[in-house]
Amino acid sequence: MSKNRSGLFVSGLVIGSALGTVVGLLIAPRSGRETRKLLQKSAATLPELAEDVSTTVQNQAERMSASALRSWDDTLVRLKEAIAAGLEASQMERQTLSELENQNLAEPQETKSDRR
C-alpha cells in the first residue's frame, strides 16, 4: 500500500509542478511575446511529462497487481492448511467418539434394580 501512495505522490508532484509552472508563467510580469514563448516551451514538454506520468502510473498498477496476487496466494495457502487441519481434527474426534461408544456398548448397562 505504501508503494501505491508513493506512486500517487510522485504523480501528484509532477502534475502539480506542471500546473504551477503554467500559472506562474501567466501571472509573471512579462511581455505577451515572452510569455507566449515560455508557454510554447512548456507545451512542448507536456507530451514527455504525460508519458512519464503514464509510465509511473502503469508501473505502480503492475506492482499493486503483483502484490495483490501474492497476497491472494498466501491467503489461499493458509485457507487450505486450515481446512486440512479442521478435517484432521474432525476425523480424530469422530474416532474418539466411536471408541467411547464402543466402550459403552461393551460395558454392562446398570439397571434400576442394580442401584439398590
Three cell numbers at 112? 434400576
Q: What are the two backbone dihedrals, phi and then psi, of residue 28, each rounded to the nearest 5 degrees?
A: -60, 145
Give the confidence band of 107 by pLDDT, cuts at 50, 70, 90: confident
In tens, the pLDDT along 10-65 reads: 778 778 877 887 777 677 777 778 777 877 777 777 788 778 888 888 888 888 88
pTM for the predicted model, two decimal places:
0.43
Give the per-residue pLDDT at 52: 84
What Cα–Cα distance (Å) separates residue 7 from each residue in 20, 56, 67, 103?
A: 20, 7, 14, 67
Contacts with 14 (C-beta within 8 Å, 6 or more apart), sequence order: 49, 52, 53, 56
Amino acid 8 reads L
Give the confidence band of 5 by pLDDT, cuts at 50, 70, 90: low
R_g of the chain, CA atoms, integer Å: 36
